[in-house]
């Protein structure tokens, strides 16, 4: 894969192997980039780990095109008095 630049700071991203794939990360901590196939491999590896770890863990859901984002949740009030002034 060609070298990538961080979209936030423009610094060349560091590349390293992760399992069967490759991960590119900003050296300044602005994020990571994975190819779709590499992300699929990581999800599969995570699900395999959960299958063999026991019943106390749940596998990650597979992301599909028909999924929608969860509805926005209003943050809980910090105090009861705050609930008096919220609409």
pLDDT tens across 33-84, in order?
888 888 888 888 878 877 776 666 666 777 788 888 878 888 777 776 676 6
The answer on pLDDT for 14 being more than 80 is yes
Domain boundaries, the chain: 1-60
CB 24 within 8 A of CB 13: yes
Burial 58-74 (b: 16+ CB within 10 A, else e): eeeeeeeeeeeeeeeee
């Amino acid at each position: 894969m060609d070298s990538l630049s961080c979209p936030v700071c423009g610094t060349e991203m560091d590349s390293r192997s992760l399992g069967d794939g490759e991960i590119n990360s900003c050296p300044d901590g602005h994020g990571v980039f994975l190819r779709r196939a590499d992300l699929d491999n990581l999800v599969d590896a995570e699900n395999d780990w959960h299958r063999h770890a026991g019943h106390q863990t749940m596998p990650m859901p597979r992301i599909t095109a028909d999924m929608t984002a969860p509805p926005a949740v209003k943050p809980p009030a910090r105090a009861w008095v705050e609930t008096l002034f919220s609409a």
